[in-house]
A and B are shown apart, each in its own frame.
Chain A
Amino acid sequence: MTPEPHFTGDLAAVPTHAFGHRSLTWWGVIAYMAIEGAFFVLAAAAYFFLMNQEASWAPGRIRPPELLAGTLFTLVMLASEIPNSIVKKAAESHRLRTVQVGLLVVAAFGLVLLALRAFEFGSLNVRWTDNPYGSVLWMLLVLHTVHVSTDWVDTLVLTALMFTPQMHEPRRLVDTSENSLYWRFVWLTWLPLYLLIYWLPRWSP
C-alpha cells in the first residue's frame, strides 16, 4: 500500500538561514506591519471622524500641542535611519563588529527618543480625559510609543545576543536585519502622525 520511498535528492547543502523574503522572520514582520498599519489607519480615521464633529480643532480655548519636543523627536527619528541602515547592511554581510557597535548606537537613539516622547506627552496641552480631541491625540501618541518601545526592547535583546559569543549564529543576523526593517515602519508611520498631532490643530480653523 505505502509507496516505497525513493531518494531523489539531498538537502544537506541547503542553507540554514537566508535574508529578506526567503526568511520566515521577514514574512512575520511584513504581516505585523500590515496589522499594525491597519491599526494606525483606523486610529487616523477616528481622528478625522472626531475632528468633523467639532466646530474648531483644537476645540474651544485649548492651545495646540507645543512643537518643540515632537519636532525634536521627528528629527532624531529621521537621523536614526542612518545607523539603522548601517546595521541592516552589516548584518546582511555578516560584519559582526559593525553590527555590535551599530546596535549600541541604535539603542542609544531609542533611549533619546523615548525620553523626548515623555516630554511630548507633557506638551500636548490636553489630557485624554478632557474631551474627544484629547482622547484621540493620546491614543495616537500611545499607539506609536508602544511601537517605539517594542522595537527598542527588541534592539536591546539583539544587542545582548550579539555580545554573547555563543549566540552569533547567522540566524540572529537575519533577526537583526528584520528588526531594522521594522524600525523603518516605525519611523515612517510617525510622519503622518506628527502632522495629525502637531500641525492639523494649527492649520484647521
Chain B
Amino acid sequence: MLIGGAVFPLLGALTYWYPKITGRMMSEGLGKITFLLVFVGFHTTFFPMHITGMAGMPRRVYTYAPGLGWDTLNLISTVGAFTIALAVLLFLVNAARSLKRGRRAGDNPWDAASLEWATGSPPPPYNFPHVPVVSSRTPLWTERERLPVLTGLRVDDRETLLTTVVEAMPDVREPSPEPSVWPLLSALAVTILFVASIFTPWAIVWGSIPVTIALILWFWPRKLEPRPEPVIE
C-alpha cells in the first residue's frame, strides 16, 4: 500500500521535477531500468503476501516456525524486496550522476502546461520577474509563444499581488516584510515559555513578557517615512 500509493508517486514526482530543481535531466535509460526493477520488485514482494496471508501468516512478524508452508512464498517476497532496494539505489545513483552530467533541461523539457515550467530551471529566487496572467488551467498550452504578464508592482520595495478569492482578479498590492530576526526570537521566547511551564506555572506569566516584546517588535513597522512610489514616465 505505502510503496504503491506513496513511494511510486514520490519517485515519479522526483523524476518529473528534477530538471526544474537542478536544471538537468535524469538519465532516461537508467530511469527505464529503475522503473522495470521497481515495478517487478513491487509485485514480486507483495503478490506472494496475498497467498501467505491466506495461508494464515499474520502481518508484520519477522520470524516464524519452519514447515508452516510459508517458507518459499516469503523467500520470493525477500527477493522482490531486494529488487526494490536495488531500484531505489539505482535511482539515487541516477540522481547523483545527473547533477553534474545530466543533459541541460531548459525551462520546459516536458512541454508541460503548468506555470512552474515558464520560469528558469532552477528558478531564480523571485520565480518570475513579472506576475504571469493565467486564463486557463493549462496556461502554457493556451499561450505557446508569449507569456502574458502584468507590470506595475513596486520595483524598489517588496510587494506581492493579492487576488480575489474566486475569480483571481488583481485586488490588492500587499507589501511583504523585509528579512527580520524577530520571528526567530519570538519562536525562541515561546519555546522557553512552554519548556519552563513544565517546571512552574509562573513561567506562563513571566515567560509571556519576552514573547510579547518579540511579537510587538516583529509587528512594528520598520519604515518611519514611506517613500513615494517611483514613477517611470
- B76 interface hit (Cβ, 8 Å): no
Q: Nearest Cβ distance between residue A29 and chain B, in whole angstroms?
A: 14
Chain B residue with Cβ nearest A15: B172
Name the one of B146, B148, B221 contacting A167, with C-beta atoms under 8 angstroms.
B221
- B162 interface hit (Cβ, 8 Å): yes
Give the residues in chain A near B148, CB-CB below 8 Å. Answer: 6, 8
Q: Nearest Cβ distance between residue B43 and chain A, in whole angstroms?
A: 39
Report, as a range, how many residues of chain A touch the other chain.
20 to 34
A 1-54 contacts with B by CB, 8 A: 1-18, 21-24
Give the residues in chain B near A1, CB-CB below 8 Å. Answer: 106-108
Q: Nearest Cβ distance between residue B147 and chain A, in whole angstroms?
A: 4
Give the residues in chain A near B221, CB-CB below 8 Å. Answer: 161, 167, 169, 172
Inter-subunit contact B172/A8 (CB<8 Å): no
Task: Known pairs A9-B170, A14-B161; list 12 more (Cβ under 8 Å).
Answer: A1-B106, A2-B120, A3-B118, A3-B144, A5-B130, A12-B229, A14-B172, A15-B172, A16-B174, A157-B219, A161-B221, A169-B226
Chain A residue with Cβ nearest B161: A11
Instruction: Show 13 residue pairs from A and B whose CB-CB distance is below 8 angstroms, ordered by the A residue.
Output: A1-B107, A4-B147, A9-B152, A10-B150, A11-B152, A11-B161, A16-B175, A22-B162, A22-B164, A153-B216, A161-B221, A166-B226, A169-B221
- B55 interface hit (Cβ, 8 Å): no
In Å, the complex CA distance between A7 and B152 comes to: 10
- B233 interface hit (Cβ, 8 Å): no
In the A-B complex, the 7 residue pairs with the smallest Cβ-Cβ separation, listed nearest first, are A11-B152, A6-B146, A12-B152, A3-B147, A10-B152, A8-B148, A1-B106
- B167 interface hit (Cβ, 8 Å): no
In Å, the complex CA distance between A23 and B175 comes to: 12
Q: Nearest Cβ distance between residue B137 and chain A, in whole angstroms?
A: 17
Chain A residues with CB under 8 Å of chain B are: 1-18, 21-24, 153, 157, 161, 166-167, 169, 171-172
- B178 interface hit (Cβ, 8 Å): no
In Å, the complex CA distance between A148 and B88 comes to: 55
In Å, the complex CA distance between A15 and B171 comes to: 7
Give the residues in chain A near B118, CB-CB below 8 Å. Answer: 2-3
- B184 interface hit (Cβ, 8 Å): no
- B33 interface hit (Cβ, 8 Å): no
Give the residues in chain B near A161, CB-CB below 8 Å. Answer: 221
